Amino acid sequence: MVALGAVASAAFVVAGVGVLAHQDWWASLGALGAVVSLALIVATFTPWWIFAVVINLAVLYAAWATISRGADA
């Protein structure tokens, strides 16, 4: 569980750097971080983490929008 948390954290941090640098590669790492984070939330669910699910879904949507925009260009 700790290793998955470290993977999710690292993916979010590097994806954040990509967003700040206006790079499209952030979407892959952001999606990875969100999926791993959602897996951890499902494995250790508590109602207090509902907002975390919403945040992860928002990251997944933004990543999907970025990836699909790049495919259309």
Neighbours of 65 (CB within 10 A): 11
> Is the confidence at residue 73, as pLDDT, over 60?
no
Question: What pTM does this model have?
Answer: 0.89
Name the packing angle between helices 26-43 and 50-72 (round to 10°). Answer: 150
How far apart CA 8 and CA 73 sit, in angstroms, is 29
Report pLDDT digits (tens) over 6-50. 999 999 999 999 999 999 999 999 999 999 999 999 999 899 999
pLDDT value of position 45: 87
pLDDT value of position 71: 66
